[in-house]
Amino acid sequence: MRAASVSDYRELARRRLPRIFFEYIDGGSYAEVTLGRNVADLEAIALRQRVMRDMTDLKMSVETLGQTLSLPVGLSPVGMAGMYGRRGETQAARAAAAAGVPFCLSTVGVCSVEEVAATGTPPWFQLYMLKDRGYMRELLARARELGSPVLVFTVDLPIPGARYRDIRSGFTGASKLEAALAQAWDGITHPGWTWDVFVHGRPHTLGSVAGAVKQGGRVTDFLAWIARNFDRSVTWKDLDWVRENWDRPIVVKGVLDPEDARDAVRAGAQGLVVSNHGGRQLDGVRSSISALPKIADAVGNDLELFMDGGVRSGLDVLKGLALGAKACFMGRPWAYALGAGGEPAIRKMLDTIRAELAVAMILTGCNDVRAAGRDLLDLD
């Protein structure tokens, strides 16, 4: 199949990846109500078509946090991306750099921040707060010294959400014997993935926090490690500690409530990502896009506002901008593309997003993404 859309990359990834890894990236928490809302609520928003306007020149670039993005898009942090393609985080970083958009490296990525920075473009670095503050201080120093320009402090994962698909697939809760048998079967039935990732994509560790993961074991054991080591006691006051160890912009990710957004402003964050963790944490909460307008009204221009969750096309990007986001971040789309065909597929997917955004801009009469507002939407 020749991929034409994000849904096509999803199908190709489903065919190529072992079941445990596809279900892990594709699934959400509990009954996946919020996962579905993220996509459905974006689809339900109608763009307002306008015609007979001079749309010869389109301006898609935005400036944010000291950087110029050629497209109002970024690649969200995705844990364990190195299990979808050989050294997957480095492939995604190169694709993002080629497109002129930021790549955000997950704390629990397979590739370390050093390995990703060696591609030539230091990533935005996503932070989960561990109980071991000494190690966190060292980790922040590593990312800072490597030139990471932005810290994305994710605040909605004090504990992993209950993801039923992971239990059914054997990603979590399986015995060592069950896991070994499943791994052997995956190797036989997915030879392309086995050759690319299992044989040539090692080491399969959590690269940036390998020093904190004292016990060896399968990379799939990391959810249990998160539950033991992530700090549930974190409050807004802890942002002061982060700032003591980070002298560049700090973006808080994982906010859905306007009052939390105001707290982020009061705590001195430079940016905010409206996000429900892709529907992977608390199921039953509202979609990111439905939370965005109230948060945009609450914080105004007090910080840079971004969103992620459910973005699957350039049309979705324009909808997010119209409702107040400076840029939209995508996680699953690039993970699907990575699983489908590595860096070339991620590049093509980003080209598709750019082309879809251009069509949406032309047919709504918006020739500059910086001017996108609610007048682009048919809200009647």
Domains parsed from the chain with CATH numbers: 6-364 (3.20.20.70)
pTM, full prediction: 0.96
What integer is the mean pLDDT of 145-165?
94
57-85 pLDDT, tens digit per residue, is: 999 999 999 999 999 999 999 999 999 99
Q: Which two tokens stand for residue 269?
A: 């964050």
Catalytic annotation on 204? Answer: no
Arithmetic mean of pLDDT, 237-248? 96
pLDDT at residue number 316: 98
pLDDT bin (cut points 50, 70, 90) of residue 178 is confident
Predicted local distance difference test score (pLDDT) of residue 186: 80
| Mean pLDDT, rounded, for 116-123 | 98
pLDDT tens-place string over residues 14-51: 999 999 999 999 999 999 999 999 999 999 999 999 99
Average pLDDT score over residue span 199-213: 88
Distance CA 326, CA 328 (A): 7
Quote the mean pLDDT of the chain.
94
Model confidence pLDDT, tens digit, residues 86-99: 999 999 999 999 99
Given a cut of 80, whether residue 111 has pLDDT beyond it is yes
Given a cut of 90, whether residue 181 has pLDDT beyond it is: no
Tens of pLDDT, residue by residue over 245-282, are 999 999 999 999 999 999 999 999 999 999 999 999 99
CA distance linking residue 124 with residue 128, whole number of Å: 13
The residues, any chain, with a CB within 8 Å of residue 331's CB and separated by 6 or more, are 75, 76, 77, 78, 278, 308
Q: How far is the C-alpha of 266 from the C-alpha of 14, rounded, in Å?
A: 43
Are the C-beta atoms of 125 and 114 separated by less than 8 Å? Answer: no
Say yes or no to pLDDT of 373 above 80.
yes
Helix axes 258-266, 288-299, angle to 10 degrees: 50
DSSP annotation of 267: T
Q: Answer yes or no: is pLDDT of 219 > 70.
A: no
pLDDT tens column, 277-319: 999 999 999 999 999 999 999 998 999 999 999 999 999 999 9
Ramachandran area for residue 375 (φ above 0: left; ψ -120 to 50: alpha; else beta): alpha
Q: Is the Cβ–Cβ distance between 113 and 208 less than 8 Å?
A: yes
Residue 342 has what pLDDT? 98
